[in-house]
Amino acid sequence: LLIYQLILQTHFSTLNNILCLYSDDGLVCDFSRLPADWSPAVFQTEYFGEIRLGTPGQNFSVVLDTGSADLWVPSTVCGSGHYDSVAAPQAVHHRFRAFDSSTFHHDGRQFGIHYGSGHLLGVTARDTLEIGGMTILNQEFGESVYEPGSSFLLAKFDGVLGLAYPRLAEILGNPVFDNLMVQEIVEEPVFSFYITDGSSRGGELLLGGTDESLYVEPINWLPVTDKGYWQIKMDSVSVQGVNSLCPHGCPAIIDTGTSLIAAPTNETVALHHLIGATPTNIGEFVIDCARLSSLPHVTFVLGGQEYTLSAQQYDVFNGREFCFSGFQANDIMTPEGPLWILGDVFLRQYYSIFDRGQDRVGLARVRQPADLYLSLNDTLSTRFPHQS
């Protein structure tokens, strides 16, 4: 099995320059130095890895996203008001040079993709893809030619590689992981994520299995309830032990491409009230960083198991005095009811396993640094025993 490492990037330094002050109008934060279409989602910790497209291979950094199913990268003809600006840092993003690849096939079908923090337009193509030491032949992907706004411009990644079910694809007949299965490149139809808070390595995506050194048994297996997103049923959400949200169960998706935890607006407002968060002038919620240790825990119940986050875990964006909440409003309706999104704020605490063979998601406790050290030592002792 091949391990594919993810790289961690942060934008916290930008948010350190934001000043929030109380006034007669409530809590007012100064975002004047940031782009007009700024949102906190742009400044999250991003988890992405390297792929190579074409022959010879061209390098791209892509977000590994279980909340979408398409692969796209910027084209050399990509343009927008931001990209055409003299001040725009064009060198930060790699662009695909189609005619430099001997294995490139132009399909030419136009597409558009909408994400929570931006959208793009482009055309479809096929080429050889290398990911984690594995080679996929004739992989469909999108060449982005128009990316309006600052969302993608300010990001440290070049594109997105989706890992959701094929039904979610806007571009692809066979998404990347489906091709890994069809071309019999992976041994098992499983991939798994380990992501960190940035204090150590950024994380790991394992294609074809799990890394037992990174989590503690048992694994809680949750059946996928709708094969588009990695959607499961959440039993309830409680604040300090009181089942006050999602009391009768609700749909939730496990999404590595969403930085925060998203919930319906009415439940987000209620949750922020329960944890003592204060709304700002742009609708985001903040908390006095000095109060984090006294704030209530938030517990998610999935498959009968409790997953509890402390305030230090669900609050992000440490600023001068105020911490931004890790919860955001996002109203998406499904046949099963309003949707919750368990993004990176949740997933940093748990090892997540995505099983296409049995259509299920597994969650296990991430090994703490001391546990991880002992596990790695045991592995090394087994592989390289001491010589007498």
- Enzyme catalytic residues: 65, 255
Whether cis (ω within 30° of 0) applies to the bond prior to 335 is no
In sign, the C-alpha dihedral spanning 35, 37, 41, 42 is negative
SS3 of residue 78 by DSSP: coil
- List the one residue out of 97, 9, 14 whose CA is nearest residue 50: 9
239 contacts 295 by C-beta, under 8 angstroms: no
Q: What are the tokens at 363?
A: 């969650």
- Burial code (b: 16+ CB inside 10 Å, e: under 16) for 56-93 equals eebebbbbbbbbbbbbbbbbeebebebbeeeeeeeeeb
Q: What are the tokens at 24?
A: 């007669």
337 contacts 258 by C-beta, under 8 angstroms: no
CA distance linking residue 73 with residue 76, whole number of Å: 10
Residue 175 sits at φ, ψ, to 5 deg, of: -60, 170
60 forms bridges with which residues in the sheet?
51
SS3 of residue 40 by DSSP: helix
CA distance linking residue 120 with residue 147, whole number of Å: 5
Place of tokens 């439940």: 267
Strands 19-23, 2-9: parallel, antiparallel or unpaired by DSSP? unpaired
262 contacts 253 by C-beta, under 8 angstroms: no
The burial of 184, by beta-carbon neighbours within 10 Å (0-12 exposed, 13-18 middle, 19 or more buried), is given as exposed
263 contacts 330 by C-beta, under 8 angstroms: yes
Strands 71-74, 134-146: parallel, antiparallel or unpaired by DSSP? parallel
